[in-house]
Structure 1
Amino acid sequence: MQAALDTWPDWELPLTARPEVVARVPGGRTNRSYQLRAPGLRFDLLLRLNNPRAEQLGIRRESEAVILETVASAGLSRGACYWSPAHDFTVFRHVNARTWSARDFQSETQRRRLLEALGVVHQLRPDTPRRRYTDYLDHYWRQLEAAGALEASLKKQWADFRPALREFDESDWVPVLTHHDLIPENILENEDRLYLIDWEYAAVGHPDIDRWCLDPTLVRHPFIPELARWTNDLWERVLALHARS
């Protein structure tokens, strides 16, 4: 964190002195974030220290930057103020807002607001590749296999699941910009709007993934629940694997 703060003259912001840490921002299992007091600015900043295992977790920072700019331009997220050249940290404007909770997902009014926001997201067209879920989950699977972290029963289930996964990828559903991690902690609300944050797992993919996160009964494609379960399970295993290394 201190090394990141030392680069503040490169941030191309009208700062008059080195930013100071106010507090660590709670939540987040992939990265660590800190609220900064920013001398010379009328607002605070947020410093996100990006997980050094981004590639292993299936995160492409270059794609995230393009998607974030696209969504921020539509007024649905905060844009990045600065990306470090190595993409090891990112600086954002700090948003004074309330973080959603599970209770918001249960509110009909809040659900309607979120679905309206998702309707806008799904119309955006960032210049990033379409996600092939087979390739994405294969990437997780190969890491676990190389580490000897797969039990025989899971290998059997995977052998049964993967052909259906390939068939899903090759079917004719329409890909749209999809968040892929739409949990309450990634939704902020102030008096003006909703902000959808943490777009690092986003890609042009299947919109039912976002609906599944909000409410599985909203899902239209019958394969999505199984795909979501496999994605979450393998992600948890990969995260645990690298936490031990």
Structure 2
Amino acid sequence: MLESSLDSLQNHALEQFSAWATEPQLTTRPQITQTLNQGSSHTAMLVVADDEASTRSYILRYCNRPSTPLGLSFGQEIACMKLANERGLAPKILWLDIDWQSMVIEFLDESGPVSYEELVALVRSIHSLPPELPPLNLQEQFEHYWQVAIERGHSTSALINPAEPALLSAIKALESESPVTCHNDLTPPNIRRRNQDLVAIDWEYAATGSPHFDMATLCCGWPGIDAGTFALEALGSRFSAQLLHIAIHLYATLNWNWHQAAGESPTCQQSPKTLLQRLEACL
């Protein structure tokens, strides 16, 4: 994004402060104090402003243009955040601009240490949300990352082809289970606290989908957790050891292409061929 466009986007959000759904209403134009996160698809800024009683903090988040979004649609993320916020599971959206793909949300404290029981309860609460969102189409995500990675100059030999039979079979297996609302990115940085309760942020991959795939994405971000034990406790009677193994290795292949599309070094040390072989062994 050009600097002038970035300034325009930020100023547009700050100038709308009287329309922010804060209680009480802000009395001064907010100021950006620091960049909290600048990822492949969006940037989050810490903003402070005065109301009638005190100085408060907020988060301004906007899409990085002209970067190609790697998450799902912005509209879908907003719909899921609003649904989850009704249950206290997501930040409150205070201001929104669909055209600019930007929002202001409440500021939440870092989670600090998260207990095993708290994390299980958070997953169960998210999965209990009404499954009103569009379904997660894993095949489309594979194809999207494949195309973006090629556009970035990566050779097809360095990627995992979305047409691989093992991928198609694994996706079909996960689509056979009853779908639930999934966050699909519950890594430690995406968990905050409101008072003592855990709250999830960054819902850009949220969708209705496989609970086992949601477990795979979570356990990848919490390497100290035993995936089988955690998934059994979180999913209860829905748990399937085979589906969990399929989901874990399917996510590893998807994550490989995601890193190539995002221009980041893959965190996985295995080659694409090895990742596919491990997936095939689960089927």
Give the TM-score, by structure 2 length: 0.72
SS, match of residue 84 in structure 2: helix
- The 8 Å contact of residues 131 and 204 in structure 1, kept in 2 or not, is answered as yes
What is the aligned length?
232
- The 8 Å contact of residues 122 and 207 in structure 1, kept in 2 or not, is answered as yes
* CA deviations over 1:158-186 (Å, ceiling 9, x no partner): 624333244335x4201111111111001
- The 8 Å contact of residues 152 and 261 in structure 2, kept in 1 or not, is answered as no
* 2:110 aligned residue: 98
* 2:191 aligned residue: 187
- The 8 Å contact of residues 24 and 35 in structure 1, kept in 2 or not, is answered as yes
The code of the aligned residue for 2:211 comes to: P
- Give, in angstroms, the shift of residue 154 of structure 1: 3.6
- The 8 Å contact of residues 66 and 127 in structure 1, kept in 2 or not, is answered as no
Q: In the TM superposition, what are the counterparts of 1:67-106 in structure 2 within 5 Å?
A: 67-95=80-108, 97-100=109-112, 104=114
Looking at structure 2, the residues matched to 157 and 196 of structure 1 have their Cα atoms a distance apart, in angstroms, of: 30
1:65 aligns with 2:78: yes
Structure 2 spans left out of the alignment, 5+ residues = 1-9, 220-224, 232-240, 265-283
* CA deviations over 1:175-208 (Å, ceiling 9, x no partner): 1111111110011135421111111111111112
1:23 aligns with 2:46: no
* 1:113 aligned residue: 118
Q: CA RMSD in A?
A: 2.7
- The 8 Å contact of residues 143 and 162 in structure 2, kept in 1 or not, is answered as no
1:45 aligns with 2:68: no
Identity %, equivalent residues: 22
Higher RCO (CA < 8 A, seq sep 6+)? 1
1:178 aligns with 2:179: no
* CA deviations over 1:140-166 (Å, ceiling 9, x no partner): 122334555234264569624333244
Looking at structure 1, the residues matched to 12 and 19 of structure 2 have their Cα atoms a distance apart, in angstroms, of: 13
* 1:107 aligned residue: none
Looking at structure 1, the residues matched to 149 and 126 of structure 2 have their Cα atoms a distance apart, in angstroms, of: 33
The 1:205–1:187 alpha-carbon spacing in structure 2 relative to 1, beyond 3 Å, is same
The 1:181–1:134 alpha-carbon spacing in structure 2 relative to 1, beyond 3 Å, is same
Q: 1:202 aligned to 200, 203, 206, which one?
A: 206
- Give, in angstroms, the shift of residue 55 of structure 1: 5.6
SS, match of residue 15 in structure 1: coil
Give the TM-score, by structure 1 length: 0.82
Looking at structure 1, the residues matched to 84 and 43 of structure 2 have their Cα atoms a distance apart, in angstroms, of: 22
SS, match of residue 44 in structure 1: strand
1:162 aligns with 2:167: yes
- The 8 Å contact of residues 80 and 203 in structure 2, kept in 1 or not, is answered as yes
